[in-house]
Structure 1
Amino acid sequence: MDVREHDGGRGAVASPPNEQVVLLDPAGRAIGAQDKRTVHGADTPLHLGFSCYIFDDRGRLLVTRRALHKRTFGGVWTNSVCGHPAPGEPLRAAVMRRVRRELGLAIGLPRLVLADFSYYASMNSVAENELCPVLVAHALGSTLSPDPDEVADMEWAPWSRFATQVADGERTVSPWCRAQVDALGALGDSPERWPDAPPALLPAAVRW
């Protein structure tokens, strides 16, 4: 089922009050926490994030378009979901929490494929600055109920076509997604055969 056929009428789901993100030193060690609502600005501190790529039974990738009003890269197409582990929260638990809240989707246990990915990107004087492990997950079922505060649109795209379009510049995506697609492509053409990354390569602040 194409995601555009789903019933997305659950309404907005507000972010939890005082949601915290983990601040990092250059070596990836936790040095504190900051309210998610205030962490992004012109001089965003280095902090802990994650990206997840969700595939269905047909090997298609769930691609999402960020809500238009988001402070960073609003309206831009990107990978399935991004987020931030809370202080002390295990990485895979954070991914599953975020997928459920943002997409209303159940997934299997995420697999770590890029442990040491990091990026910096800026748009309209608001920056993203993250150590951002990348995981893949399998969608359990096809029911999606996206949060309109986070997601403006979605589609399922065959991975090979999506990766080729991103590489050739035919498809515009977020800066982190573009860099991640390059790195994932180096792992092989088949997402289900991408090797697990060693958790020992994760930033020191990550709970695995």
Structure 2
Amino acid sequence: MSTQVGTVEEVVLLSAGGEAVGRVPKAGVHHGATPLHLAFSCHVVDTDGRVLVTRRAASKVAWPLIWTNAVCGHPAPGESLEDAVRRRALDELGLVVPGVRLVLPRFAYAAVSAGVLEHELCPVVVAVVPRGSSLTPAPAEVADHRWLAWAELSASIDADPAAWSPWMRLQLGLLEGPPTHWPTAVDDTLPHALRPIG
């Protein structure tokens, strides 16, 4: 459960070692000199092995209308990684995520879109949901979504890399095969700012 107070969504600022060093409102953290902060990426797969991908809303300041993994977000101060994933999956997709599996505990990246620097320490997880799971994407977050077989997804990215988010391309470059085959990582390698999963 999120520990945010009131309606101001906050982001956790990090040291280079992954320790929490402050918090700022999410609305003001992303700009041309964005500080390192805590985030996550979740890849959602259904029980038939299809991967859920989403297209970012046109109203997004950075990477509008770019295809990416199912859901990304920022854990609130004191919020666990699993709780943050569940919260954002429900907020962005109307999707109930039963649980998550950690695959890249210390993934980090920096990238620029339209003058906005994204600078995140961004653990990566996988969630498996039943085939036919109900989705009600929030228009302010998601312009479109698709369920793709792994071969379709790989071919789409190879054919047009620029249509896909830089973080997703980097993550898939570190992992082999479909998400159901990615090795599980251990919680004690997560950034210090996060509680262990479970």
TM-score (norm 1): 0.87
User: How many percent identity over aligned positions?
Assistant: 49
2:55 is matched with which residue? 65
Matched, 1:180 2:180: no
Aligned counterpart in structure 1 of residue 126 of structure 2, from 123, 133, 136: 136
Q: 1:137-176 residue pairs with structure 2 within 5 A? A: 137-140=127-130, 141-166=132-157, 168-171=158-161, 172-176=163-167
- Alignment match, 1:98: 88
- RMSD of aligned Cα (Å): 1.3
Q: How many residues align?
A: 189
Conservation of the 8 A alpha-carbon contact between 1:163 and 1:181: no
| C-alpha displacement of 1:58 | 1.4
State the TM-score, normalized to the length of structure 2.
0.91
Aligned pair in 2 of structure 1 residues 201, 164: CA closer, same or farther (>3 Å)? farther
2:12 to 4, 8, 22: 22
User: SS at the partner of 1:32?
Assistant: strand
Equivalent residue for 2:104, pick from 114, 118, 124: 114
Distance 1:191 1:49 in 2: 19
Indicate which of 7, 28, 34 corresponds to 1:38. Answer: 28
Distance in 1, matches of 2:140 and 2:160, equals 27
Structure 2 unaligned residues grouped into runs of 5+: 1-5
Q: Is the 8 A contact 2:45 2:180 kept in 1?
A: no
| Range that drifts further, 35-44 or 132-141 | 132-141
1:195 paired with 2:186, answer no
Provide the rounded CA distance (Å) in 1 between the counterparts of 2:164 and 2:135: 21
* Counterpart Cα distance in 2 of 1:126 and 1:169: 26
Aligned equivalents of 1:127, 1:148: Cα separation in 2: 24
Which of 123, 127, 136 lines up with 2:113 in the alignment?
123
Structure 1 residue corresponding to 2:78, chosen from 58, 66, 88: 88
1:126-169 residue CA offsets vs partner (Å, 9 max, x unmatched): 11100000000012442100110100000011123312432x24
Where structure 1 has 5 or more consecutive residues not aligned to the other structure, the ranges are 1-15
Query: What SS does the aligned partner of 1:155 have?
Result: strand
Shift of 1:89: 0.3
CA distance in 2, matches of 1:46, 1:118: 9
The structure 1 segments of at least 4 consecutive aligned residues displaced by more than 3 Å after TM superposition are none
How far 1:120 moved relative to its partner?
0.3
1:48 paired to 2:38: yes
- Structure 1 counterpart SS, 2:171: helix
